[in-house]
Amino acid sequence: MNNIINKKSKPYIVIEGQVDLTMEQLNNLVENKYSKKICIYAGGLKKKYGLNILVEAFIKANIENAELHLYGNGDYEEELVEICKKYFNIKYFGVKLNDYIVKEEIKATLLINPRPSNEEYTKYSFPSKNMEYMVSGTPILTTKLSGMPKDYYPYVYIIEDETVSGLSKTLENILSKSVYELNAKGKSAKEFVLREKNNNVQTRKILEMIRNESN
């Protein structure tokens, strides 16, 4: 984005987002998880965000004792309601308050962001959803979005093949892992964003840039 809007090469710094340090107080424990393997997507229910690919991949994977829970609204909503009538392991809960969503994310097995990485706009934005997912302490599965810095990669599961078949195999692989391995992955992601991307750290970067320029 700097190359497009900063024609005069003024000082800049990239702050892709921030997480609230108070999330450190919310524990994500294996014993408090749902007994089923619950996968969650919360956000805009739009086909351009890859929701139809996610749902089709989940149906194709047909993983025992697993459910896909979806929250939000958008152009895929009506079609999703009809799909839920046919497939009882896919459940749509509409729009809920953020506090409710966070509690559900903590109890879930896997949080998913299927947004296609080939869309032009993904170069210029960081998906705040990923930060919310990571700070919950539940592992996240995401596409390799251009706007996501590489220092995030070790802490998330990556969708390398964004087709229905590719995502289906990825879901099978991840949900075959033990609850303890998954919990450890989620814990490491939470520790990373709380340490490196919290509101204090991110604000300090801006203040330091201003201070350096004023000297």
pLDDT tens for 140-174 read 999 999 889 999 999 999 999 999 999 999 999 99
Q: Does this model's pTM top 0.95?
A: no
pLDDT, mean of residues 116-126: 84
In the chain, domain spans: 35-195
pLDDT tens for 17-41 read 899 888 999 999 999 999 999 999 9
Q: Write the single-letter amino acid at 211.
A: R
pLDDT, mean of residues 72-86: 96
pLDDT of residue 13: 86
pLDDT of residue 134: 97
Report whether 162 contacts 116 (CB < 8 A): yes
What percentage of the chain exceeds 70 in pLDDT?
100
Q: Average per-residue pLDDT in the chain?
A: 94
CA dihedral 144, 75, 166, 61 (to 10 degrees): 130
Can you read off the two tokens belonging to residue 129? Answer: 């959803």
pLDDT tens for 51-67 read 999 999 999 999 999 99
pLDDT of residue 136: 96
pLDDT above 90: residue 75: yes
Per-residue confidence band for 123, with pLDDT thresholds at 50, 70 and 90: confident
> Count H helices, E strands: the chain?
8, 6
To the question of domain 35-195 being in CATH 3.40.50.2000, the answer is yes
pLDDT of residue 204: 92
| Sheet containing 37-42, strands listed edge to edge, beginning at the edge strand earlier in sequence | 90-92, 66-71, 37-42, 110-113, 140-143, 157-159
pLDDT of residue 62: 95
pLDDT, mean of residues 176-191: 97
Report whether 155 contacts 188 (CB < 8 A): yes
pLDDT above 80: residue 181: yes
Per-residue confidence band for 139, with pLDDT thresholds at 50, 70 and 90: very high
